[in-house]
Every structure is written in C-alpha cells, then in structure tokens.
Structure 1
Amino acid sequence: MNSVMQTRRTLAIWLAAMLVLLSVAIAVHSISHVHEDPKSHCSLCLHQHQLQDAITSTPFHFQLAQQSYISVEFQAISFKRPFSRFFNSRAPPITA
C-alpha cells in the first residue's frame, strides 16, 4: 500500500513539474515571436491562434443521469417466545 502511495506521489510531482516547465516554455516561445510579422509565425502559433477560442465558444452540455431507486418491502419473520437461558456446565474429566 505504501509503494502505491509513493508511486502516486512521485507521478503527481513529476506531472506538476512538467506542467510548470511546459508553461514556461510556451511563454518563452510566444515572446520569441513578438518582433516578427504575424504571417511569419510558426505553425504551432498559427494553430494556437486559430483554436484559441474553440473550447470557450462551444456551449457546455453535460448530461447527468437521473438516479432512481426501487422501493422494496421486506417482511421480517418474528419468532416471539420468551428468552430462556440455559447454563450447561461441564465437569472436569475424571482422572483415574
């Protein structure tokens, strides 16, 4: 169990580090095109500008499944009788 938690922690730290490094790399890459003509951007920057608002312009529809339940009646069997306690003691074995 401990090795699973250690693996998850290592993976989470690694993914967080990659996210930080990639965000810095993207920022540095976009700064490299500041003094260039808009037509001379690389293909990554052109696609990024074309698709920049693609996600936010589409409406978000998330269909939730309505949960339902089935009501079931159980019949409990009751044996009504008085409780009687019996103590069955056992004697020690007979030694010869």
Structure 2
Amino acid sequence: MAFVVGENCIKCKHTDCVEVCPVDCFYEGPNFLVIHPDECIDCALCEPECPVQAIFSEDELPDDQQQFIELNAELAEVWDNITEMKDSPPDADQWDGVKGKLKYLER
C-alpha cells in the first residue's frame, strides 16, 4: 500500500516531503506533487513532513479524495522525479485549506 498526495498540495506544493523520502518516489508537476505507488515503500516518513497535511496513507485517504489514488499513479508516469527540496510558491499559504482545488491542477 502506498501513500497518496491529496488535494491540499495543489498550489501549495511544499517539498519538505521529498527531502525525507528514502526511495525518491515523488514526482513534480507545475503546481502539485505525486507519489509513485509502485515505488513507495510505505515508510510514512513523508506524511508528518507535509506542512499542509496533504499526504495520506491510501487507506486513510478521505472519501472525497479517492480520485487522487489514480491521479498520483497516472501523473507519476509522466512527470519528472524530484529528489531535492525546492522553494514553495510565494502564495502557498493562501491556498492552504482551500476546498475544490482540483480544477486548478496543472498537468
């Protein structure tokens, strides 16, 4: 079972999680990160590092975010791997907790 990046990462895209991942299973898009489900070893190191609580164990993913399981798998196949922490977007704090951000996802 893998961890999943959920909706709150959209437009926040903090990369603290990337720094602690022992298997480099994070992939980066323009305004969102995803976890490759076949590479994640379920170590749980990333979850507490996320400042916006956007990372969930697959079995703890909220019901209204189940589509993010498939979205993480799909985008991890086309986005570039990220292995080092980067600066967050300047307006990341303004987007934390905003509901309905899926429409802002840039592919």
Q: What interval of TM-score do these two structures reach, taking the shorter chain for normalisation? A: under 0.3
The higher-RCO structure (CA 8 Å, 6+ apart) is 2
Task: Report which of the two has the higher share of strand.
Answer: 2
The TM-score, its normalising length taken from structure 2, stands at: 0.17
The TM-score, its normalising length taken from structure 1, stands at: 0.19
Rg bigger for which structure? 1
Task: Report which of the two has the higher share of helix.
Answer: 1
